[in-house]
Chains A and B, each alone.
Chain A
Amino acid sequence: MTAVLAAVRADETHFPLFVHVLGAMILVGGLVTAAALLVFARGDVPSLRRGYWTLLAVALPGWFVMRIGAEWIYQKEHWDDLPEGIDEPAWLGIGYILADLGGLLLLVSLIVGGIGMRRLRNGGGAGLLKATMILSLVILAAYVVAVWAMAGKPD
Chain B
Amino acid sequence: MSFDDWILALHVLSAFAYVAGIILFWVLIVAVRKTDDPEGTLRMQPASMVGNAVIGIGAGGTIILGIWLAFSVGDYAIWDFWILAAIVLWAIAAGIGQRTGKAYMQGVTKARELESAGQRGSNAELLALNRTQIGVRLHTAATIVVLLILIDMIWKPGA
Closest Cβ of chain A: how far from B98's Cβ, in Å? 20
Q: Is A37 in contact with B20, judged by CB distance below 8 angstroms?
A: no
Counting contact residues on chain A (CB < 8 A from B), the size range is 20 to 34
A32 — which chain B residues lie within 8 A by C-beta?
Answer: 17, 20-21, 23-24, 50, 54
Q: Is A47 in contact with B43, judged by CB distance below 8 angstroms?
A: yes
Q: Is A25 in contact with B31, judged by CB distance below 8 angstroms?
A: no
Please tell me if B113 contacts chain A, counting CB pairs below 8 Å: no
Residue count of chain B within 8 Å CB distance of chain A: 30
Please tell me if B154 contacts chain A, counting CB pairs below 8 Å: yes
**Known A17-B154, A37-B47: A29·B23 in contact at CB below 8 Å:** yes
A148 — which chain B residues lie within 8 A by C-beta?
Answer: 9, 13
- Secondary structure type dominating chain A contacts: helix
Q: Is A46 in contact with B27, judged by CB distance below 8 angstroms?
A: no
**Known A36-B47, A40-B47, A152-B5: A14·B154 in contact at CB below 8 Å:** yes
**Known A33-B24, A50-B27: A147·B47 in contact at CB below 8 Å:** no
A residues adjacent to B (C-beta < 8 A): 14, 17-18, 21-22, 24-26, 28-33, 36-37, 40, 44, 46-47, 50, 54, 58, 144, 147-148, 150-155
